[in-house]
Amino acid sequence: MAPPSGGYVEALTLLRDRPLVVLTGAGLSTDSGIPDYRGPSAPARTPMTYQEFVSGPAAQQRYWARSHLGWGRMGGAEPNDGHRAVARLGADLVITQNVDGLHERAGTPRLVALHGRIAEVVCLGCRETSDRAALQERLAELNPGYAERHAAAPVRPDGDVELEDTAEFVVPDCAGCGGVLKPDVVFFGENVPAERVARCYAAVEALTERDGALLVAGSSLTVMSGLRFVRRAARAGTPVVIVNRGSTRGDELASYRVHAGCSEFLTALAG
């Protein structure tokens, strides 16, 4: 049975004064100028998989060339009204599928960045983590004028751009061990770290005992990393509200399905 559609006021009424877990996706960051993955106007995308990234230097060169350009644009994005509203909600836990760091910058407490943060880099050899801003300076020094030559490349929601001309891009190794550097995010083909998943499941399961609700904002729930929490809540009888422009994979599990902008709805909910 399909959920009630467009129950804006009813959804707000259901969610108010309840314990909440909030699951957010790329649609929450569109008001910050970051395109989403699968919205009505989203471009087709073929994200690099983990297996492709570790296949050799050519793939790593292609990834970092695109990411070098995209970082300058994503790095300048600011939290929007939706991020600030989530920070005010006082949710038991906020689970974000986004890697843009905007929840952190909005001051969101009790946050799990399910897929990591694009602002951090990890070495696949020694596992040392470092700041992305420092790597960005190294990339700029090794590739003078590259960003300016490709300033028109369209930005993508993964924090990179659409670009094929990457053959001459110079990629540095880890300064400590000479290993391969990778953004500290979960690529397609990688598993979300088990401890993150366990924390999220625990928060969702606790909603049942506390008469709480799960709110999904700006996610199409296409990938299992987010959908599994909706399934767990629905199976336990916990109300689920989905706010998203466009259909989602969890629509049939929702108590209410609201076709609205995230910033608008979340601001109304947070008051």
Of the candidates 68, 83, 103, 115, the residue annotated as catalytic is 115
Q: Is 123 annotated as a binding residue?
A: yes
3-state SS, residue 185? strand
Q: Under a CB-based contact definition with an 8 Å cutoff, are residues 125 and 174 in contact?
A: yes
Pairing of strands 129-131, 111-113: unpaired
Residue of 224, 203, 243, 259 lying closest to 91 (CA atoms):
203
* Residue 66: φ, ψ to 5°: -70, -40
174 is in an annotated binding site: yes
256 residue type, one letter: Y
Beta strands, E only, the chain: 20-24, 93-96, 111-113, 116-123, 129-131, 181-185, 213-217, 240-243, 256-258
Q: With left for phi above 0 and alpha for psi between -120 and 50, is residue 241 left, alpha or beta?
A: beta
> d(Cα 105, Cα 87) in Å, to the nearest integer?
10
> Is residue 68 annotated as a catalytic residue, yes or no?
no
Binding-site positions: 123, 126, 174, 177
**Which residues are tagged catalytic?**
115
Binding-site positions for Zn(2+): 123, 126, 174, 177
